[in-house]
Each structure stands twice: as C-alpha cells, then as structure tokens.
Amino acid sequence: MRLTKKTFVVSMMVLALTLLLVSSGMAENVKLTFWSWRTEDVEAYEQFISEFNQIHPHIEIEFIPYRNTEYNTILATSLQGGAGPDIIHLRTYGGMEPLAQAGYLVPLDDKIEALQDFRSDVLLGATLREDGRVYGVPVVEQTVLVLYNKAIFRDLGVEEPQTWDELVAIAAKAKAAGYIPFANGSKEGWTLETFFGAVAPTFYGGGSFFDEITSGQVDFTDSRFRSAIEKMLELRPYLPDDYVGVGYTDMQMMFAQEMAAMFLAGSYEFGTFAQMNPDLEIGVFIVPNLEANQDKYFSMYVDASYGMNANTKHPEEVLEFLKWTATKEFGTLYANTLQVLSVVPGIEISDPLLQKIVSLLGDHATSYLMLTAFRYGTPSGSTLLQNELQGVFGDTITLDQAIENIQTGLESWYEPFNK
C-alpha cells in the first residue's frame, strides 16, 4: 500500500486523537480513600485535601474517620482481607510495626526524599525495627506535661513552680481556695499513663534511664522507676474527690470549665480546649525536680504517620499525596489548623503555647517510655502500667506488687529482659 498524503494526514489525526484520549484518560479523576481515627478533624482534613487539590486537581480524596477505639481492629481486618484504604493514617511504633511486617505497607524512605531531613527520633515512630526502613510520613508529635489555668494561677497569686515542693504548695493552695488542683482521675487506665508521662520522667531521669531500660541493662525493679511512681502518689490528695470514678471526659470538662487549676495531659488537648472554652488561658510547664537547678523532663512521642496500602490501585497518586504531606507548606498548615506540633522540619508555628513547647523540646524532651519502647508485644508496657497504676491508685494492690507485675508481664515477650 502506497502511503498517500491523504492517508498520512488521516492516520496522524487518528493517532493524535488516540493520544489525546489516552492522556485525558490518564488525567481522569482518580478517587483515593483515606482512613483515619481522627473523627474530630474531619473539617481540617477537608481543608487539607482542598489545598492539595489546588496543585493536584485530578486526585480526589475521601477522608473516612472511624471511632478511635475501633480503628485498629477495622483497619487490621480490612488489610488482612486484602482491602482497606489507599492512604492509611498509621499509628506509630508497635502500633504500626505488624502492618509493615505483614507486607501491607510500602516502604517510603527511597521514594520521598524529604524524609531525610526529618529528625531521627521522629522517623523511629514509623520505622520497622528489623529492616530499618520507614513506612510512613510522620505527621505529628505530642508532648505530655502540666497544663495550667493562667487565670486561676493569677487568682491564687502563684507563678509556675521551680521545685517539686512549690508545685505541691500550689496544689494545696488551689485546694484550699475551692479549686480541684489536678483534673486527673483513674477510671480510665490510659489517663494514668499520661499522668506518668508528665510526672515520672523528671524523677526517673529522662533519657539515660530510657536507654538503660530499653537495652535491658536495668529493669523495672530499678529504684528510679519506683521513686518516680512514689512522686505520682504524692499528688493523690490533690486529685478530684472520688477520682477512681473520674473518666477522661469528666477530666476534660473539669479543666475546660475552669474548675481545676492544673491537668497532667498532652499537648493534643489544646485544640479541644479551644473549642470547649475559647476564654480558657492555658499555660504549660515541666514537672520540676526537687531543686530548681536539677534536670527536669517531659515525655515526647510521634503520634501518627501517613502510609500507603501495598494493595492500592493508584500508587503514583498516593505517593503524590504523601510527598505533599512531607512539605513545609503542609506542615505549617497542619500545625496552625489543628494547633499541634507538626514534625516537618523548619515550619513556622504561630501559636505561642506550641512555640514554648518547641523551645523546651531540645533540652527537656524524652521519649514517652511505655508507648515508644514497650508497645511491641502483648501485654504491652502501656497496658501493664495503666492497669497496675489503676490498682495502686485504687488501693487494690501495693506499689511493690505493681512493679513486680509490670516486670513479669514485660519479661514474657521483651527480649532484652531475657538475656
């Protein structure tokens, strides 16, 4: 067949049309699902996604949050069944590891360059320990310390305490003035781990104890661990009446309604309090040591990361989104929208409270003990600490028994304790 000019033109047009169709087919809207446990952040995520769509209009993302306490189960069973979302809001440390281990996640460290600039203790939250690879883009870090009501402190005529005795004196003064000194209860065990995270690090000695215990050089029968819990128990007279029956929402209400002067809690509460009571003036401080010149510490942990389902049909689009979440633009947007500490390096935080925490991070932060190091097996250090502390605070068991139970429970699976 001789190729005439006419047939050539026609065939070229056909080719051009085909290419056009194919390329427009590629740019066709791709719909991704994004599962999370952050039911309270739906509006914020809609905002993030619409910002993302300014750059990538063809990637549609549906944000689907599940109840916090049910999320892990729902996610794990879906992934086991070969389904699940395209983008996964991942827990961290031991909460993430089994998913990576089972091959449900895609390693990201070779795909997202920006991850190299993240702090190494931050990346640890999304790392599979056995292969050292990063399976999520870390999103947010949380801190646990003392939140206080500035107005109540003014009313009492007190300043942020510099020593442990000053702290106890403030609590006593608050109680005498009719306030609840600390809005902490023990009905829900996990709030006792928060209590521990705020008070204990100063007394067990922060990072050096952390390194010794995670490597198995010492165990939980160490006197530093014991004296840290004894300090927690010294605050018992300053907890609400019937604190054994006081649950988390009660605690939040007591602090938000300005009935309580202080709250041993996480930086993740700020957003909630801003909504519950916009007039509440919150300050933060680290639990001081016996003397003002002694070291003091508070707990830090990475709270979440974003990962990619290995089974996704749209890996490229998911990667586009994940890359975007590692940018300063996203970090700044995230931190200022939700009033939390984004882990993206070099972002600008406008909130003065968070600014203060950022300034304390370098010298005083230490990894949140049970959450970051002892949640790789069952019963986890958190489960044990929470329940044993509940036993001690409810006068069901002695501190000695509690410590023994924590140690025995962890020995059942934590390798370095069995060397």
Partner 1 sequence: MAKRWAQKHIYLFFLLPGLLIYVLFMVYPLTSAIGYSLYSWDGMVKGVFQGLENFKVVLTQNPYNIRFWSAFRHNWIFFGITFLLQSTLGLFFATLFTREKKGYNLLQAAYFAPYTLSMVVVGFLWLLLLNPTWGPFNKGLRLIGLGHHAKSWLGQTGTALYSIVFVNAWRWLGFPILVFKAGLQGISDEYYEAAKVDGANAWQAFIRVTLPLVLPNIGMVTILTFIWIFNTFDLVFIMQGSSGNPYYSTDLLGTFFYRTAFGDSTTGGEPGQTGIASAIAVLMFLIISFVSYFGIRSLRKSEVEY
Provide, rounded to whole angstroms, the least separation between the CB of residue 66 and partner 1: 12
Q: Which helix (H) or strand (E) holds 250?
A: helix 248-256
Using the rule CB under 8 A, which residue among 95, 271, 283, 315 binds partner 1? 95
Residue 59 neighbours by CB under 8 Å, 6+ apart: 29, 30, 32, 52, 53, 317, 320, 321
Neighbours of 14 (CB within 10 A): 10
Q: In terms of CB distance, is 35 or 243 closer to partner 1? A: 243
Number of residues counted as binding partner 1 (CB under 8 A) = 54
Using the rule CB under 8 A, which residue among 70, 113, 400, 415 binds partner 1? 70
d(CA 188, CA 267): 19
Q: In terms of CB distance, is 248 or 332 closer to partner 1? A: 248
Q: Is the peptide bond before 379 cis (omega within 30 degrees of 0)?
A: yes
Using the rule CB under 8 A, which residue among 213, 268, 380, 414 binds partner 1? 380
Q: Which helix (H) or strand (E) holds 415?
A: none
Assigned token pair, 198: 């705020």
Give the x-and-dash track for 244-263 against partner 1 (CB under 8 A): xxxx--x-------------
Ramachandran assignment for 260, one of left (phi > 0), alpha (psi -120 to 50 degrees), beta (any other): beta
| Residue linked to tokens 């709270």 | 303
Using the rule CB under 8 A, which residue among 183, 391, 403, 414 binds partner 1? 391
97 binds partner 1 (CB under 8 A): yes
Q: Which helix (H) or strand (E) holds 31?
A: strand 30-36
114 binds partner 1 (CB under 8 A): no
Residues within window 175-194 making contact with partner 1, judged by CB under 8 A: 185-190, 193
386 binds partner 1 (CB under 8 A): yes
141 binds partner 1 (CB under 8 A): no
Helix H segments across 263-327? 270-276, 315-325
Using the rule CB under 8 A, which residue among 69, 81, 278, 293 binds partner 1? 69
133 binds partner 1 (CB under 8 A): no
Surface-to-core class of residue 234, CB atoms within 10 Å of its CB (0-12 exposed, 13-18 middle, 19+ buried): middle
Provide, rounded to whole angstroms, the least separation between the CB of residue 248 and partner 1: 9
Q: In terms of CB distance, is 312 or 383 closer to partner 1? A: 383
What is the sign, positive or negative, of the torsion defined by CA atoms of 302, 304, 306, 310? positive
Provide, rounded to whole angstroms, the least separation between the CB of residue 390 and partner 1: 5
Q: In terms of CB distance, is 206 or 391 closer to partner 1? A: 391
What is the longest distance spanned by two Cα atoms in the chain? 104
Using the rule CB under 8 A, give the single segment among 157-165, 206-214, 323-331, 382-390 that binds partner 1.
Answer: 382-390
Using the rule CB under 8 A, give the single segment among 58-66, 210-218, 347-355, 389-397 that binds partner 1.
Answer: 389-397
Provide, rounded to whole angstroms, the least separation between the CB of residue 172 and partner 1: 21
